[in-house]
Amino acid sequence: GQNIDQPTEMTATEGAIVQINCTYQTSGFNGLFWYQQHAGEAPTFLSYNVLDGLEEKGRFSSFLSRSKGYSYLLLKELQMKDSASYLCAVRSGGSYIPTFGRGTSLIVHP
Amino acid sequence: EADIYQTPRYLVIGTGKKITLECSQTMGHDKMYWYQQDPGMELHLIHYSYGVNSTEKGDLSSESTVSRIRTEHFPLTLESARPSHTSQYLCASSEDGQGTEAFFGQGTRLTVV
């Protein structure tokens, strides 16, 4: 099985930078996804990492260290609309099915 | 915008009723999934399919069943709804391949009274 751990809740100020961490324990790591989910809505894809390093996409970046079982999602120039839950999901073995963590609820205040 | 649709969005139903939650995608994806999500909790995989006539149970035990007769359609059925089935049900699909993400429907929020 997989064990995925994220902080439950974070708060940040509009315009600031926030880093959301995700640690995981799995055998046969096969990729890590970050999704954003606004309250009452479907998760939407943000990023995918399978090799070590940083993937940058606009205001959002995601980092992976496979040896440490660790990833983070970095959100820059925070906006109020970034208030949402951020889900870390890991694939392992030969399966294409991601296993999700509980998500981190991010609250952005003025 | 993802072309995956779920109906109904909201459903309130009495105990013992049979219900079917619909999920359709127009992207031609072979892989489809059903997740169950309670407020503030992680998504739990309850069923998945790798293609037509392929269905498997997920990690979370569920009293629901699914079918995959056509690529685009992956309905989930509860033969006899119970209050413990009250939850949000999310359908998703993805292409084959290493880095392909899942596209999610808007979800069905089910309440069994």
Interface test with B, best of A62, A97, A102 (most B CBs within 10 A): A97
User: Using 50, 70 and 90 to split pLDDT, how confident is the model at A87?
Assistant: very high
B107 neighbourhood in chain A, CB within 8 Å: 41-42
Size of interface A-B (CB pairs under 8 A): 51
In this predicted structure, the answer to whether residue A96 has a pLDDT above a threshold of 60 is yes
Query: Which pLDDT score is estimated for A2?
Result: 66
Distance (Å, whole) CA A33 – CA A77: 22
In this predicted structure, the answer to whether residue A84 has a pLDDT above a threshold of 80 is yes
The two three-digit tokens of residue B81, written as one number: 């709804």
Q: Is B77 helix (H, G, I), strand (E, B) or coil?
A: strand
- Comparing CA positions, the residue from A4, A8, A5 lying closest to residue A105 is A8
Query: Which pLDDT score is estimated for B108?
Result: 96
Query: Which pLDDT score is estimated for A92?
Result: 86
A 10 A CB-CB count for B56 gives: 11
Q: What element of type H or E holds B111?
A: strand B108-112
**Which of A6-10, A54-58, B92-96, B107-111 is predicted with the least confidence, judged by mean pLDDT?**
B92-96
Please indicate whether residue B37 or residue B2 has the higher confidence score (pLDDT). Answer: B37
User: Using 50, 70 and 90 to split pLDDT, how confident is the model at A83?
Assistant: very high
In this predicted structure, the answer to whether residue A1 has a pLDDT above a threshold of 60 is no
Distance (Å, whole) CA A39 – CA A99: 20
Query: Which pLDDT score is estimated for A49?
Result: 95
Determine whether the interchain pair A97/B103 forms a contact, defined as Cβ–Cβ distance below 8 Å: no
Interface test with B, best of A57, A96, A105 (most B CBs within 10 A): A96
> Residues B34, B43: contact at Cβ < 8 Å?
no
Residues A12-56: tens digit of each pLDDT: 999 999 999 999 998 889 899 999 999 888 899 999 999 999 999
Distance (Å, whole) CA B90 – CA B44: 10
Residues B22-74: tens digit of each pLDDT: 999 999 999 999 999 998 888 999 999 999 999 999 887 778 999 999 999 99
Please compute the mean of the pLDDT values over residues B10-28 and round it to a whole number: 96
In this predicted structure, the answer to whether residue B98 has a pLDDT above a threshold of 70 is no
